[in-house]
Chain A
Amino acid sequence: MKQAFRNEQGGRIDRSKPLGFVFNGKAMQGYSGDTLASALLANGVRIVSRSFKFHRPRGIVSAGVEESGGILAVDYGTGLQPIVRSTQMPLVDGLRAESQNCFPSLGFDLLRVFDYTRSLWPAGFYNKIFKWPDWHAFEWAIRRSAGLGRLPDSMSHARFCHMNAHCDVLVVGAGPAGLSAALQAARAGDDVMLVEQDNEPGSSLLHDLSEIDGQPPAAWLAGTLAELRGADNVKILTLATVAGYYDCNVVTIHDRVAAYRRDDPIEIFWKVRAGRVVLATGAIEQPIMFGNNDLPGIMLAGAMRQYANRYSVRCGGRIVAVVNNDLAWQSVAALPESGMEVAAIIDSRDSIDDALADQARQHGIDVYPGAAPIAASGSNGVRKLQYRDREGRSRTIECDAIAVSGGMSPTVHLYSQAGGRLRYDEQLACFLPRECRQEVTVTGAANGEFATARTYHIGPRKPSAAKTSCQWVDFLHDVTASDIELACRENLRSVEHVKRYTTTGMAADQGKTSNLNTLTLLGDLTGRSLGEVGTTTFRPMFMPVTMGTIAGVRRGAFYTAAKRLPAHDWHAAKGAEFEDSGGWDRPAWYGKDRAACIRRETLLVRESVGLFDASSLGKIEVKGPDAAEFLNRIYVNTVPNLKQGKVRYGLMLNENGIMLDDGVFIRLADDHFLINTTSGNADGIAGWLEEWHQGEWPGMDLVISPVTSQWAVVTVAGPKSRDVLRTLPGMIELSTKQFPHMSFASGVFDDGTPYRIQRVSFTGEMSYELSVPANCATAYFERVWAAGQVHSIGLFGVESLMILRLEKGFLHVGGDTDTTSNPFDAGFRKIVASKQGDFIGVRSLQRAEDKRGDRRQLIGFETNDKDATVSAGAHIVTGHGVTQRSEGFVTSACLSPTLGKTIGLALLERGFERQGETITLYDEGRLTTGRIVDACFYDPRGERMRG
């Protein structure tokens, strides 16, 4: 339990709150305020994982978002999550962490054989080496050894939710620059959101002890936070990482502030619309290239200071620093105060600022300007560093940790995502923001303002004398300098190509510490400046975000929330099996045995009476002096001569002459129509009417009002339907003489419920659609149900409805037609011919193509074997072998319970002239024969429907 590398005093951790955690099965202890990384370091853990390709040992490298080594599988109560950055994982009690990519164990990894035979596996190796005899012979083994971590086996226990916010100013990053910007905006009265990915605001103020505005950093931070927290126009988010910066200053944030709670963990995805964004995102220290620069114990200099000052953790006992810039000297100078011996600072620059050198010497640090690292050595951690001194002599120095710093690289990711362009600054040796069209400003280190007290000097990043095959560029994807050389030799010059070829920068750390070194190498190899090389494109997510967070509540039942019928529960109580149908949960059949139920329901409607919920039927009212003329342009059918109280079938086309939707329309009054659409198209057609009214015929005086959900529709179908309905007190006279097929009326029931009734039929039987206000749905299903008991009324669902309509040969637009079917193809030639005037699609029907006789036309067929099954989608084929071709396909088919044979509809070339012809159906490998018959299989004269 001993934290051997933790100092007795100092830091911002709370020693009164010890936290237990388990790493690879071993119990350890840290403190409240630790990250998982700082706790592991405090416990002396040097190797935390293995690298992705060569299974080389990896230790913790950084103290932040850029971490490439300390990436673990972590369970903090929501199940084991792969690929978690230990540097960003607040330590919580009971946390369990496991190394990834080790086989069989972290200490002894068999797959390190890949490392010892490294020269065999260069970039793109799988495209080159495993060619013979066949890639598939090797695929299994490669897939087994590749990958990073294990997939969780179940859904996360966490809840995920989305939050939406607006603000005047969004400040990203709560370091000194971000805090100052937030304060300034708050004082000006702006609504401010300040977002910090750490678990407390402050950033460098938490570990850099130099004064700010003449105050100690802690005092400055306390004062600033007090003012911000006291202001009611400021909202501060912590443990919240800005993930993406999109158009129109829309910014997404992954908020983990409640994610690590034992009870009810929640991850939040914020979508913030900001008037202005201030990026105070700081800068990321870059590593240095030399031999074996990936050994555990080699860390970023700034991170070492951060662990020392903030977490009171020593990252080593005897440290050597390898640097090229001034800031690193300050980081390293802070280490001796925390009990670490710093043996030497090796700086590639020939001249060092005197003050810095003096300060170092006072701490007993040897100073080697103009020196360059060659290679580190040690098997599972660094033991020695070989370097070349100013005179060119090779020297070796013993150490157990190396602090590296190749200079600062501003965190311009979000700026770049926003569409901002970058420029390369030779002086600062980094890419800086240049210009952006969005309302965004960049401040602090993110803008290259690295040092407030003194100027920042950085030397060039020089190539090391070590073998390039042991100089690591991407620590996670195991990309070496020799891989970049190989890419250049193979003539890949564009940085985007080199990235994809070598996969550098594409690992889970997203290249935060590998991109700049890659660009530098590429520039050196191709004789270009970094400005000319450019950067790869920065894309969201800045930090990977759990997919559950992005999906939010759109999971399970909320993925596509179905609409429910107003009498849903009544149907459920009657044993309905629900299926999605046009976006609605509709009863598909009632009972257990699907096939038997559908057959029973079909015959029930044919023989006596069935009850069906048609509430989802699209209902749109169109009212106004120009309503008739407007609808006349919408429908292929003629509208103006329809009499009040009468119903007519209507077919809509799109402007390309393709059938769009069908249904009946009703004239309620001279200037008032009610139109029905198919269930799935109700919203679409309402939008379609609005688009044509507002966009094409705005002068027409009318209003369009969708009323689908206002009315529940109780459909009563079958020879006894009239007998059932006429018993309802207040029902109109339903005799065929008074109320024939295709009539409409409205009335009021005895209980005061208003109703509408239309006699229309989609089943081929006498049928009435009774509409009552949606809130009366259950009452009226119950009422009609009760009234029908003497006639043994039963319920029928969508499945039997589709059989009933198929037996009758009624078209299902979109099912029996596709996006090339015009009205001629479905036998509506007469309706088109009798139409006068303009309507949508009319011009397209005049094209020669649309009138051709050899188009695919909708025909009926029956199979020769009465019991043969045929699926929708089966092809009608002609010819044999290689000359066999499809002449069309089945759009609907069923074994008709009424007729006792298999029938169907099909779109078939020249179908209309082929009545009686024998056809061959190809259905999932089986051939079936049938013949073309009239598409109306049942009661072709319509006597039962009109009776």
Chain B
Amino acid sequence: MATIRPSTSYFTFGGGEPAYTSYAQRGGIPVVEENVAAVLELLPAFSSLRLMRQWAGITDITPDTMPIMGATPLRNLYMSGGWGTGGYKAIPAGGDTMAYTIANDAPHPLIKDFDLDRFERGALIDEGAASGVAH
């Protein structure tokens, strides 16, 4: 389970993914059960609160779960994708370094390792702890 976000009369929590590719954006019951069980493990008093809604979205996850940022084989086409579950913490830095990359047509030093070619080179990145991905 990744996140609990309090709101006004309800709170939102979520995380996990089905173990297969899906564009359905519905979410199945096994993932719901896992998430709910995780919340109750942390906060047992929530057992009599009610689950109102469930939904699922599509996350873009790369082989090393790290984003792909930088130039592409097409001239003037830049890419910032594959943020998967880490985007909403890292994107301020992501936006800043992408702006630099586009303005200079050269990768910002902080993101040069996040290029698209890293898979062909075999230079994958492991920042699991930094991105909050469950190990």
Contacts and interface: CB of A to CB of B under 8 A. Distances in A.
- Chain B binds chain A: yes
Contacts of B92: none
A819 B50 contact: no
A911 to B, nearest CB: 16
Interface string B96-130: 00000000000000000000000001111110110
A67 B64 CA distance: 48
Contacts of B91: none
B37 A551 contact: yes
A156 B47 contact: yes
A716 to B, nearest CB: 33
A197 interface: no
B33 A656 contact: no
Interface in B34-53: 36-41, 44-53
B93 to A, nearest CB: 15
A539 B55 contact: yes
A339 B41 CA distance: 53
A867 interface: no
A146 B47 contact: no
A545 interface: yes
Given A155-B44, A160-B47, A820-B125, A550 B53 contact: no
Interface residues of B, number: 36
A547 B47 contact: yes
B62 interface: no
Contact of B126 (A78, A548, A820): A820
Interface string A841-854: 00010011110000
Contact of A52 (B9, B37, B48): B9
A758 interface: no
A152 interface: yes
A282 interface: no
Contacts of A81: 48
B8 A147 contact: yes
A544 B50 contact: yes
A184 to B, nearest CB: 29
B89 interface: no
B95 interface: no
A549 to B, nearest CB: 8
Interface in B14-70: 24, 26, 28-29, 32-33, 36-41, 44-55, 64
B26 A147 contact: no
Given A153-B45, A849-B123, A510 B26 contact: no
Given A52-B9, A154-B44, A849-B123, A544 B33 contact: no
Which interface residue of A153, A844, A847 has the most chain B CB atoms within 10 A? A847
Contacts of A545: 50-51
A656 B119 CA distance: 10
A541 B55 CA distance: 10
Contact of B48 (A79, A244, A510): A79
B45 A155 contact: yes
Contacts of A556: 41, 44
Given A555-B37, A848-B121, A154 B32 contact: no
Interface string A140-162: 00000011110111111010100
Interface stretch (A24-32, A214-222, A245-253, A916-924): A245-253
B50 A546 contact: yes
B54 A819 contact: no
A633 to B, nearest CB: 20
A885 to B, nearest CB: 10
A252 B29 contact: yes
A541 B51 contact: yes
A555 to B, nearest CB: 6
Contacts of A148: 9
A544 B51 contact: yes
Given A820-B126, A844-B122, A849-B123, A146 B52 contact: no
Contacts of A541: 50-54
Nearest to A75: B48
B51 A850 contact: no
A659 B5 CA distance: 37
Contact of A555 (B41, B52, B53): B41
Contact of A547 (B26, B40, B64, B125): B40
Given A548-B40, A559-B37, A156 B48 contact: yes
Contacts of B50: 83, 508, 541, 544-547
Contact of A552 (B24, B33, B46, B126): B33
A271 interface: yes
A657 interface: yes
Nearest to A84: B50
Contact of B33 (A156, A546, A551): A551
A848 B120 CA distance: 11
A476 to B, nearest CB: 8
Nearest to B65: A819
Interface in A545-598: 545-548, 550-552, 554-556, 559
A846 to B, nearest CB: 9
A550 B32 contact: yes
A336 interface: no
Given A154-B44, A537-B55, A550-B36, 10 more contacts: A79-B48, A148-B9, A152-B46, A152-B48, A507-B9, A541-B54, A544-B51, A547-B36, A551-B37, A819-B124
When A and B form their complex, which 4 residue pairs have the shortest distance between CB atoms, in order from nearest?
A548-B47, A544-B50, A148-B9, A554-B37
Interface of B: 8-10, 24, 26, 28-29, 32-33, 36-41, 44-55, 64, 121-126, 128-129
15 contacts: A146-B9, A147-B9, A148-B9, A151-B46, A152-B47, A152-B49, A156-B47, A247-B26, A271-B29, A510-B53, A541-B51, A541-B53, A546-B48, A555-B44, A847-B121
